[in-house]
Structure 1
Amino acid sequence: MDTVMHESPPPLPVDDEPKYGGYSRFEIELEFVQSLANPFYLNHLASQKLLDEPAFVAYLAYLRYWARPPYVKYLNYPGPTLKHLELLQERRFRQDIISPELAQALAAEGAKASVDWHKDD
């Protein structure tokens, strides 16, 4: 567990880096962190008891590097991705997200934010 928190972020992709199942560490972590934008996925993680696992919680803390340059520019939905990643740092949220009502409320909030953002165009 301790090694995950002190490990440095992956380097930006290069052609000769090691692959895991055909993907670079950068690609794997990018896909996973972007999945955190989906509140129903967060609910699924909670239902599988992953959010109770200290090693998984440490991994979520490690993933906070995605909020910094140059990594943040690779996120498709930086707003909800980073918001949920920060919320996942809180024990109370990790417990509460098991509620389908909370997942639904977060989804509705995200949809409203998207509509409101497009109104300004």
Structure 2
Amino acid sequence: MASDPMPVDTTNLEPPAIPDQNQNPETKTTPQRPEPKYGGHSRFELELEFVQALANPEYVTYLASRKLLVNPAFIAYLDYLQYWSRPPYLKYLTFPTASLKMLELLQVEQFRKDAINPGLAQALIVEGMKSAVEWHRE
């Protein structure tokens, strides 16, 4: 099994279509070109899950340990995912502050280099807990 990640060309990639939640699945018409499924999930669902997973600093450390954060194709993919910070996609994020802040930090080369340090993940976890406590006090 190869350890190199598969290259991803995001140069002309558009954000995925937002699923229409108001349609009844039984009456849904089939589009001209149905969206391909990846393991039974749409690209929208996969990218949403990935962006939400970025809220976990330990997951980001895992990505760094797998050398993904130095892969130019993966860095381009992180840049492409910036569309989640804008409506209408923003409303689908469960933890938008944490997810989008990490996505923003991952745009910085030095942060990507430092992300392999488990101490950084722990510090981010502590900061997140402090922020949550302060937010609840307000």
Do they fold alike, i.e. is TM over 0.5? yes
Residue aligning to 2:105: 87
CA distance in 2, matches of 1:38, 1:97: 12
Residue aligning to 1:96: 114
The answer for unaligned runs of 5 or more in structure 1 is none
- Residue identity matched to 2:61: N
Q: Among the aligned pairs, what percent are the same residue?
A: 59
CA distance in 2, matches of 1:67, 1:38: 17
1:53-94: CA deviations, max 9, x gaps? 000000000000000000000000111101000110011000
Runs ≥4 in structure 1, deviation > 6 angstroms? none
- TM-score, normalised relative to structure 2: 0.82
RMSD of aligned alpha carbons: 1.5
- Residue identity matched to 2:39: G
The answer for unaligned runs of 5 or more in structure 2 is 1-6, 21-27
- TM-score, normalised relative to structure 1: 0.93
2:69 counterpart of 1:51: yes
Q: Which has the larger radius of gyration?
A: 2
* Between structures 1 and 2, the one with greater helix share: 1
CA distance in 2, matches of 1:39, 1:5: 27
CA distance in 1, matches of 2:38, 2:8: 22
Residue aligning to 1:20: 38
CA distance in 1, matches of 2:106, 2:127: 17
CA distance in 1, matches of 2:128, 2:108: 20
